[in-house]
Structures are given as C-alpha cells and as structure tokens.
Amino acid sequence: MTKIILDFEYNQGFIIKELAYININDPINLHHFIIRSSTDPDKDVKQNAWIYHNLHAIPYNYGLDINIKHILEKIPSNSKIYVQGVEKMHLISRYLPTCHVINLLAPSHLKLYQPYKQIQCPYPHSGLHCAVIKVYKFYSYFKSAPLI
C-alpha cells in the first residue's frame, strides 16, 4: 500500500493554492503545485489580501491553470494519505474516495521539527505556511515516531 504525506495551503472557501505531497518510501520525489484560483478575485479582495500578506504570500492569480482533480488522480487508489487537520482530511477524502485519508495528530511542537533534509520551496514564502516545508516536517516526525 502506498503511503503519502500531503499538505496544502488555501484561500477562502478551501480553494487550494499550493499542494505538496511525497511517497513515504520515496521522499526525494516531491510533487509540488501552485494553482491559480479559478474564482473571481474581485469578490473577496480584502480577504485575499489578508491571506496573501499574513499567510502563504502567494498572489491570488499566480500559479498553474489546472484542476486539482488532475493533480490528485496521480495518487494510486487505496493509498494511505496523511494530512494534518480534520478539514483537510474531509476535503481530500472528497477528491480521493478510494483512498484512506488519515488526520495526522502531530504534536503542537511539530513546528520545531526540521525537515529531514535542507529543503527550500521553489516559491519564496513563509516556511510556516508552505506546503513543501510542512510535508518534509511531517516526514521527519514520521521517521521519529512509530506511525508508519
């Protein structure tokens, strides 16, 4: 069974902006996407500006013009997918109903974990709100805990 660690950053309404995942058995092979929002940017200008300045720092109209379903369909069915957060678990479960999506109950001190290798996101934004950095921190946590 394939085991995946997945994380994403999102705008209002769980519109995914950045998504990253790795196979636990092949952590070097990172899958990373920044996705252009398909909704009207003028609808929630203040909220989008707040998210940009205070969270992930990814402009609303920046990224690939691709449907999230096309990205996630590359994950094999019946995979175990580890995410952090109940909302993220429910959202990914809707996209991947044949996979077992697990809410990773990582400790509150997870932010103190260092990624297992020196990794930098190709997009220059905050490490606290970067899906790539968080995926590798989860992986470091997994390696130190008997979860997998």
The model's pLDDT over 105-126, given as tens digits with 9 standing for 90+, comes to: 766 655 555 655 566 666 666 5
Contact yes or no for 33/18 (Cβ under 8 A): yes
Query: What band does 130 get if pLDDT is binned at 50, 70 and 90?
Result: confident
C-alpha dist (Å) from residue 148 to 5, 32, 51, 142: 11, 22, 33, 7
pLDDT at residue 53 greater than cutoff 70:
no
Query: What band does 139 get if pLDDT is binned at 50, 70 and 90?
Result: confident
**Residues 98-107, mean pLDDT to the nearest whole number:** 84
Contact yes or no for 80/1 (Cβ under 8 A): yes
Contact yes or no for 76/2 (Cβ under 8 A): yes
CATH architecture entry for 3-144: 2-Layer Sandwich (3.30)
Contact yes or no for 60/52 (Cβ under 8 A): yes
- Between CA 37 and CA 29 the distance in angstroms is 25
Q: Position of tokens 């209002």?
A: 12
pLDDT, averaged across the chain: 77
Token digits of residue 40: 């009207």
Task: Give the global pTM.
Answer: 0.79
